[in-house]
Structure 1
């Protein structure tokens, strides 16, 4: 093998190697862009989920407050029932 022939063989092999490296880099770049897109989509989804959760939590708090306002005053009803029972008993005692 002569020197120009060896040089040509090395040049061909270097060109193949360059093509292989370029193809590998293109594949890696494609994979990275897919990962970046997924990451961006996940960030948007998390942000939307946070906003939805905050809105639902606000609605739940409003519902709890309305339930608190609408609940029956059980201690007052119990006291009135006791007084009414005592009065009925008193009347029954003296009605005889």
Structure 2
């Protein structure tokens, strides 16, 4: 194989390698972007769940208070009547 053909083959190989690496870099950048978007979505979801949990805590307390009030009023009515 003449020296010129070897140099040409190496140049083509180098070009193919550079194109392949550029594609990989692009794909990695896209994956990083998607990962960042997923992280943001998870953070938003965690915040929403926390907000819902905070807003839910009075419901059991209100239920207990209503039950106690009903018992007290019933007992008062029975004792009076």
**TM-score by shorter chain over 0.5:** yes
Does residue 82 in structure 1 map to residue 74 in structure 2?
A: no
Give the paired residue count.
Answer: 79
* 1:11-90 equivalences in 2 (<5 Å): 11-65=7-61, 67-68=62-63, 71-72=66-67, 73-83=69-79, 84=81
Deviations 1:25-68 (A, max 9, x none): 01111110000001111111111111111111111114444x24
Unaligned runs of 5+ in 2: none
State the alpha-carbon separation in 1 of the partners of residues 10 and 77 from structure 2: 100
Counterpart for residue 92 of structure 1: none
Unaligned runs of 5+ in 1: 85-96
